[in-house]
Structure formats: structure tokens, C-alpha cells
Structure 1
């Protein structure tokens, strides 16, 4: 992957944002914890491996869903009543969406994508 992108996201209620499966869900205390959790989920295969092990037939899961980006970076900061998140990565939006949904469910919105 060679196309770095900057994804600009908003999380409306980070305090209560959780994924559907507690074994995969974010369980931190604020924007810095969330940024670290998402960055780890993008750089490391551990979250994917936990999800894969939970599937009925883990061996049938497409390995490409576990792709990572060692250079991914995430920052997050509180703004008014929500959290602004910036992600810089080579990973496609589908993979970023997957990791976000595992961590915080549907409690986020994509606002902009720019080439990096």
C-alpha cells in the first residue's frame, strides 16, 4: 500500500462509545486512550486475531482483513461535546471502518479524507 490518507473523524460520545463485543471493545478513559487503542488496532494484528478467533470457522476468514500499517498514527482531542480524531494511514477505509466498529461501534462519523 502506497497511498497515505488523512481521515478526519468525529466521535459524538466517546465516554459511552463501545463496540458490540466487549472482548474487542475500547475500554479507555478519554481521547488519548482511544487514540492509542485505535493506533494499536491499525499497527498490530492482535485485535484482528481476537476477532478472527471468535468466528465460527476462523480458518475461513480472509487474511487480507488483518492487514496492518506499522506507520499508522492517530490523534484525538476533545472539542465541545465530541472528540475529533485524525488518522493517517495507508489502510483503506474499509479496514479503518472495521477496526473503529470493533472498538466503538457506530458512534463515529467520517468528515473528510485527504491524500497524505
Structure 2
């Protein structure tokens, strides 16, 4: 049985949160768009494959960095002046962090992790 975790994340300024590489960066309009983009990044290898293609030696990239979770779910909502994101996944935080950084850079903060 796979261990699933619930990650609670906060983004202070989603409207301006972007990753360092435009080819990988989130370019949506709000919490629902971001939730869909992150969910796709966790479920599908496409974002990882685009990142790997940008590396100096794509064949040398560790395939474990491309782990996905077909059952990952993401929800996001605007609260006051920030966005609250909830991720449920079997992926380790290191992979969730990687995908968040590709999409929105360091514009997020993990607040809690609980068993799902």
C-alpha cells in the first residue's frame, strides 16, 4: 500500500509567482488554473520531460526525478491576500518541491504535512 500525504502550501502572490525558466513556468490566471497546472505536473511526466530536455546532458538525468502519481489531487483557493493549496499525493516532498519550483519558483511556503 502506498503512503499518501496531504501537503498544505501557501503562495503569497500567485499573480506574480513564476518559475525561473519561462518554458516551465506557470502562466495561469488564478488558483484554479494553478491547481490544474500543479496537478498535471504531478500526474504526468510532461513537465519533467521538458525540464530534462533543457539540461546540458538530458540522458544523464536521473529518471527517478520524473516520478509521477496518477492519483495526485490539487486544490487551491484565494484566502485574504494569498492562495492556499492542498496537495494529496504519494510523491515525496522532494518531488512536489521540484515541480512547485519549476512552476512558480520559490514563491511558496510549506505549512504542514499530514497523512492522507
TM category, shorter = over 0.9
Does residue 1:88 correspond to 2:67, yes or no? no
Q: Using the TM superposition, give the Cα deviation of residue 41 of structure 1 relative to its aligned residue in structure 2, in angstroms.
A: 0.0
When normalised by structure 1's length, the TM-score is 0.99
Q: Distance in 1 between matches of 2:74 and 2:57?
A: 32
* CA distance in 1: counterparts of 2:43 and 2:10, whole angstroms: 21
1:24 matched to 2:30: no
Matched, 1:67 2:67: yes
Q: Distance in 2 between matches of 1:18 and 1:89?
A: 23
1:43 aligned partner: 43
Taking structure 2 as the reference length, the TM-score comes to: 0.99
CA distance in structure 1 between the aligned counterparts of 2:52 and 2:39, rounded to whole angstroms: 19
Q: Which residue does the alignment assign to 1:3?
A: 3
Query: Secondary structure of the equivalent of 1:15?
Result: helix
Cα deviation per residue 1:35-91 (whole Å; 9 max; x = unaligned)?
A: 000000000000000000000000000000000000000000000000000000000
Counterpart of 1:39 in 2: which secondary structure? helix
Q: Name the count of aligned residue pairs.
A: 116
After TM superposition, what 4+ stretches of structure 1 lie above 4 angstroms from structure 2?
Answer: none
Q: Does 1:110 align with 2:113?
A: no
Aligned-residue CA RMSD (Å): 0.7
Question: Could you tell me which residue of structure 2 aligns to residue 100 of structure 1?
Answer: 100
Structure 2, unmatched stretches of 5+, are none
Unaligned runs of 5+ in 1: none
Question: For residues 9 and 54 of structure 2, what CA distance do their matches in structure 1 show?
Answer: 28
